[in-house]
Amino acid sequence: MNVLAERTEQCPYCGESIDLLIDPSEMQQNYIEDCQVCCQPVIIDVTVTHEGEISLFLLQENE
């Protein structure tokens, strides 16, 4: 069982902080999740290095 990593990032629409759960066992991830504050669809692009470092990019759906 893999432990999910919790990250707090900023919504590209409203600028509010949103909490994300990331599965560090997947090296490349790309998915859409609605902002918990403004409900806009946020594209979340995740890269996990071999060392386990997580890098996130959050984009508006129309970017």
Tens digit of pLDDT for each residue in 8-61? Answer: 999 999 999 999 999 999 999 999 999 999 999 999 999 999 998 999 999 998
Q: 1 pLDDT exceeds 90?
A: no
* Beta bridge partner(s), residue 59: 43
Is 8:19 a contact under the CB 8 Å cutoff?
A: yes
Domain boundaries of the chain, sorted by first residue: 25-63
The reported pTM is 0.85
> Which residues are within 8 A (CB) of 34 and not within 5 positions of it... i.e. 6 or more apart?
40, 41, 42
The three-state secondary structure class of 57 is strand
